[in-house]
Structure 1
Amino acid sequence: MAAVEKYLKPEVIRQISRLDLRAQFIVKGFMQGLHASPFHGFSVEFSEHRKYTQGDNPQDIDWLVYAKTDKYYVKKFEAETNITGYLAMDLSGSMAYRYQKELSKFEYATCIAAALCYLMVHQQDPVGLVTFGEKIIDVLPPKSKRQQIGNVLSHLARLKPRAKTDIATSLIQLAAMLRHSSLVMIFSDLLVDPEPVLAAMRRLKHGGHEVIVFHVLDQAEVDFPFDGLVELRDPETHERIQVDADGFRKDYLKAIGEFRETYKRECAKSRIDYLPLHTGMPFDKALMEYLLSRRNMG
Structure 2
Amino acid sequence: MLDAAALLALGNLPLVARLIADGAQAGLHPSRRRGAGLEFSQYRPYQPGDDLRRLDWRLAARSDRYYLRESDVDTRLTVRLVLDASASMNHADAAGVSKLAYARLLLAGLAHVARQQSDAVGLYVLSAKGLQTVPPREDTGQLPRLFHALGAATATGTLPADATTAAPLLSRQGNTLTVILSDFYDLEPQSALERLLTQLRAAGGDVLALHLLAPNELTLDYPAAATLEDLETGQRVQLDPAQRPAYQQQLQAWLRSTEQSIRGHGLDYHRLLTSEPPAAALRLVLRRRQGLPA
Q: TM-score, structure 1 length as denominator?
A: 0.76
- For each residue in 1:132-153, what CA deviation from the matched residue of structure 2 results, as whole angstroms up to 9, or x when unmatched? 1246331111111222111100
Please tell me whether residue 218 in structure 1 is matched to residue 214 in structure 2: yes
Query: By how many angstroms is 1:44 displaced?
Result: 9.2
Please tell me whether residue 163 in structure 1 is matched to residue 147 in structure 2: no
Please tell me whether residue 239 in structure 1 is matched to residue 235 in structure 2: yes
Partner of 2:118: 124
Query: Unaligned regions of 5+ residues in structure 1, if any?
Result: 1-5, 35-42, 61-73
Partner of 2:32: 48
Partner AA of 1:47 in structure 2: S
- For each residue in 1:191-241, what CA deviation from the matched residue of structure 2 results, as whole angstroms up to 9, or x when unmatched? 124333344313211211211111111221122212412201111222222
Partner of 2:253: 258
Partner AA of 1:92 in structure 2: S
Please tell me whether residue 10 in structure 1 is matched to residue 14 in structure 2: no
1:102-251 mapped onto 2 (5 Å cutoff)? 102-134=96-128, 136-166=130-160, 169=163, 173-178=167-172, 181-196=175-190, 197-244=193-240, 246-251=241-246
Query: By how many angstroms is 1:128 displaced?
Result: 0.6
Partner AA of 2:30 in structure 1: F
Match of residue 76, structure 2, among 59, 82, 85: 82
d(CA) in 2 for partners of 1:277, 1:91: 17
d(CA) in 2 for partners of 1:107, 1:168: 26
Query: Unaligned regions of 5+ residues in structure 2, if any?
Result: 36-48, 55-69
Instruction: Decide which structure has greater strand share.
Output: 2
CA separation of 1:265 and 1:281: change in aligned 2, threshold 3 A:
same
1:64-79 mapped onto 2 (5 Å cutoff)? 77-78=73-74
d(CA) in 1 for partners of 2:105, 2:34: 29
- For each residue in 1:236-284, what CA deviation from the matched residue of structure 2 results, as whole angstroms up to 9, or x when unmatched? 222222121x212112222222222123223334331111111101222
Question: Which piece of structure 1 moves more, 167-176 or 207-216?
Answer: 167-176
Question: Which piece of structure 1 moves more, 107-116 or 188-197?
Answer: 188-197
Partner of 1:282: 277
Match of residue 271, structure 1, among 266, 271, 281: 266
d(CA) in 1 for partners of 2:80, 2:275: 25
Q: Secondary structure at the match of 2:80?
A: strand
d(CA) in 1 for partners of 2:72, 2:234: 52
Partner of 1:71: none
Query: RMSD over aligned Cα, in angstroms?
Result: 3.1
Q: How many residues align?
A: 260
Preserved contact between residue 229 and residue 235 of structure 2 (Cα < 8 Å): yes
Partner AA of 2:141 in structure 1: Q
Instruction: Decide which structure has greater helix share.
Output: 1
d(CA) in 2 for partners of 1:199, 1:282: 32
Q: Secondary structure at the match of 1:107?
A: helix
Query: By how many angstroms is 1:121 displaced?
Result: 0.9
Query: By how many angstroms is 1:176 displaced?
Result: 3.8
> Rg larger in 1 or in 2?
2
Q: Secondary structure at the match of 1:194?
A: coil
CA separation of 1:111 and 1:230: change in aligned 2, threshold 3 A:
same
Asked which structure has the greater RCO (Cα within 8 Å, sep 6+), the reply is: 2
Question: Which piece of structure 1 moves more, 110-119 or 167-176?
Answer: 167-176
- For each residue in 1:126-174, what CA deviation from the matched residue of structure 2 results, as whole angstroms up to 9, or x when unmatched? 0011111246331111111222111100111111112322478378534
Please tell me whether residue 19 in structure 1 is matched to residue 13 in structure 2: yes
